[in-house]
Chains A and B, each alone.
Chain A
Amino acid sequence: MPALVRKTLGEYGRALVGWTVGLSAFLTMYISIWSSMKDNPEVFTETAVAKYPGALRDLMGGMADIASGAGFLQAIAYQLLGPLLFVMCAAILGNRAVARPEEARTLELTLTLPIDRRRLVLDRWAAMLLGLLAVALVTLCVVAVAGGLAGMGVPFGRILAAHTGLFLLVLFFGTLALCVGAAFGRGQAALAVVGVWGVAGYVVETLGRNVDAIAWLRWLSPFHYYLDGRPLYQGWPAGDYLVLLGATAVLLATAVFAFERRDVGV
């Protein structure tokens, strides 16, 4: 492993452990509620539907089958909160790839080592990828094991498909933060872009389903390629996932292109 990738993973270590523990605790807690719900599905479905009227229900991903194993898992792990937390983790790591060390002025010494700019961006990105992959693998195990113990009855293949989508979504947003940081060197800007695109993308994808005026915007939403294929129910939406991967590659290429051409730390 290149020295810079190893070093970057070391920098991310503490954050990675924290986020892994936090996400796993969050998932375990919610999945454990499931066992108390599954015995009276009608009551819970009614309560849930009554609690979230109209548009709000759309925003929560429908919730029509919250009392089924797949519906519950989708609602708590893969719809809103799971991606929200995991995307935050990715944005923070992506931000620490270039923008944060540049603002702290520690990037200057790294740049003056015999590492060219392209390698620097790619190595930092690779470390982020490996870090996010580790978090994704641990949380995948947590969902599979806790879901199995709670008797959710969702096949592992479907969980794997959904979790892969989650990882690709999160990798996209992490790369977005890295890209804005590499292009402008401003951490606040990177987080703002992730926040705005993330929230707007989610709202457009969930509400846009029923509002024709903004339906076309769904094509611009990363969440569209993550949620639309309903992997937890229907398995691998290969085309959608390839779009996410392609978009990530474009962002990474942009990051390298921009970082190779600008002054650092001015």
Chain B
Amino acid sequence: MTAVVETEGLTKFYGPKLALDDLALAIRPGEVFGYLGPNGAGKTTTIRLLLDVIRPTSGRATVLGAGTRDARIRARIGYLPGELALEGRVRARAYLDFVADVRGGVNRGRIDELAERLDADLSVPMGRLSKGNKQKVGLIQAFMHEPELLILDEPTTGLDPLVQQEFLSMVREARASGHTVLMSSHVLAEVEHVADRVGIVRSGRMVAVEDVAALRERAVRRVELHFDAPVPREAFEGLPGIRDLTVEGASLRCTVDGRPDALIKAAARFTVVHMVSAEPDLEEIFLTYYSEEEAAHARAGA
């Protein structure tokens, strides 16, 4: 299986400023790839290089098996820019019709269907739309031709929670029909529910690429157990994956790395009346990654 998006040594300078440093990225067919990083890390630069809006200083990128310079492949890509700007005087309907004409072979019914799903008004000049409603027009133009590759730069900006849910289900549908999605964000929480893999970029460098399922597996959980009578601390000491154990009378608190299996089996010998397990915070794991990478980088540099 060849990658849908593949970059090698992709580097971009804006004048003397290094925006992207030797980026290697491979996005597999049919996956949803979350592209994460703080603002200014190089996410938008990468995306604009993939769409040939800007040109790399060095390195190369292929998208859907062709060089980025090939305009024809862009008919098979749906793109939502991070800073979406729409022509103020043009009505959304007229604009979407134009986009459909240029791409060719777009089913017009699809525009109405998406407008209905997102509750978008296509009849007013786009300059009068609120930020969230503009974003809906941006989403419609990106999704309307059911492209093989969706490149979405901070797609949920300005959307209210209901529309965000609808958007996420659109992404899931795209994946279900075998399409590939590259989606950037500065927070993991926005992509963790749809992404198969996530990559973190920082200061123009890719610092980690991880499987979301594997991350969950490794997730750190805070667990609280309450028993009907005081329990001996010794019964829980030394269990694999258990840290920060505190036992106070009939209640127990600890941190679980990965699977909570050993803890559950140990607790089963007593009568459990109540159990609290916090959602694993993937963000936290990621930040750990960040700092480890940074530290490693700093050591290598020193």
Contact = CB atoms under 8 A, between A and B. Distances in A.
Interface string B69-100: 00111110101010111110110001000110
Interface string A11-29: 1001000000000000000
Contact of B103 (A101, A111, A114, A266): A114
Nearest to B76: A114
A114 B141 contact: no
A15 B77 CA distance: 34
A109 B134 CA distance: 13
B53 A108 contact: yes
B75 A7 contact: no
Contacts of B73: 114
B51 A111 contact: yes
Interface residues of A, number: 27
A109 B81 contact: yes
B87 A264 contact: no
A3 B72 CA distance: 16
Given A3-B101, A4-B102, A114-B75, A105 B83 contact: yes
A113 interface: yes
Contact of A106 (B48, B75, B86): B86
B72 A114 contact: yes
| Highest count of chain B CB atoms <10 Å: which of A10, A263, A264 | A263
A107 to B, nearest CB: 9
A14 B101 CA distance: 22
Contacts of B85: 104-106, 108-109
Interface residues of B, number: 29
Contacts of B229: none
Given A3-B102, A263-B54, A263-B55, A115 B81 contact: no
Nearest to A7: B98
A47 interface: no
A234 interface: no
B52 interface: yes
| Highest count of chain A CB atoms <10 Å: which of B55, B75, B85 | B85
A195 interface: no
A83 interface: no
Nearest to B75: A114
Contacts of A4: 98, 102
Contacts of A101: 87
A263 B68 CA distance: 13
A14 B87 CA distance: 14
Contacts of A104: 85, 87
A265 B72 contact: no
Contact of B53 (A11, A115, A264): A264
A115 B51 CA distance: 12
B54 A112 contact: no
A11 B74 CA distance: 24
B102 A114 contact: yes
Contacts of B94: 10
B210 to A, nearest CB: 29
B102 A112 contact: no
Contacts of B14: 266
B81 A113 contact: no
Nearest to B95: A7
Given A114-B74, A263-B54, 8 more contacts: A7-B98, A104-B85, A106-B85, A109-B141, A112-B53, A114-B73, A114-B75, A114-B103
Interface of A: 3-4, 6-7, 10-11, 14, 101, 104-106, 108-109, 111-117, 119, 261-266
17 contacts: A3-B101, A3-B102, A10-B90, A101-B87, A104-B87, A105-B83, A108-B48, A109-B79, A112-B51, A113-B75, A114-B72, A116-B71, A117-B71, A261-B55, A263-B55, A264-B53, A265-B53
